[in-house]
Amino acid sequence: MQKATETRFELQKDRMLKAAARCFNEKGYSGTSLKDVANLLGLTDAALYYYVKNKEELVYLCYIRAAEVGRDAMMDAMASDASGYDKVLRYLSNHIESLVGDRGPIAIMSEIPSLEQAHREEILELSRRHSTAFEALISEGIRDGSIAPCDIRMTGNAIMGSINWIPKWFHGDETVAQRIRDEFPGILVACLRRNDKDQRASVS
């Protein structure tokens, strides 16, 4: 009985965080109230206080969830025996599926300054770890010859920035979601491919 209750709690909490992510992505932190989230869920304002104590905690939990989604996508890619290039492609496909699929909406981490200090530092550290892991995949690809030499930090920032902004302009249309799944991973890794000149240079 207790396990069933815990499961219901987690499912409802996840619904709340998805609704909150949608509101924060569309209206920002200052433009979103707990009432907006409650209305989207068909709940009373008071019902949300069963899950969070205030709006700051709500956006913090949205960012924790976003970090978990990115971590899951990254861990799956890192566990692969493929080349660095293929690991990057796998990570991007995984993360994009999370953003436009059943796990979405995911909150954009654009309101970190609104968090209290301890929460802000935690989210920034999670973000740094994720960026470092992604840069490591690019570096691995350069070492194994599957990715052309590049500025790893700038390349990582460019790709991650494109990924992280998807929830801002994607609003749930399944036709658009499928186009994003089909096109975005290839677009984002195009800059990593080695061309004939790169191949000749590595051989010589």
> 99-119, pLDDT tens digit by residue?
999 999 999 998 899 999 999
Contacts of 152 (CB under 8 A, 6+ apart): 135, 138, 139, 142
Q: Which domains does the chain have, with CATH numbers?
A: 59-203 (1.10.357.10)
The label of the residue with tokens 């969830």 reads: 65
Q: Within a 10 A sphere around the Cβ of 85, how many other Cβ atoms? A: 22
Q: Is the dihedral of CA 155, 159, 164, 165 positive or negative?
A: positive
pLDDT band at 78 (very low <50, low <70, confident <90, very high): very high
> Looking at the predicted structure, is the pLDDT value of residue 131 above 80?
yes
pTM here is: 0.88
pLDDT of residue 200: 39
How far apart, in Å, are the Cα atoms of 125 and each of 1, 75, 86, 111, 170?
37, 17, 26, 15, 27
Backbone angles phi, psi at 50, to 5 degrees: -75, -20
Q: Are 112 and 62 in contact (CB under 8 A)?
A: no
> 18-73, pLDDT tens digit by residue?
999 999 999 999 999 999 999 999 998 888 888 999 999 999 999 999 999 999 99
Backbone angles phi, psi at 76, to 5 degrees: -65, -45
pLDDT of residue 203: 39
> Looking at the predicted structure, is the pLDDT value of residue 2 above 80?
no
Helix axes 84-100, 174-189, angle to 10 degrees: 160
Least confident interval from 86-100, 140-154, 186-200: 186-200
pLDDT band at 201 (very low <50, low <70, confident <90, very high): very low
d(CA 45, CA 24): 17
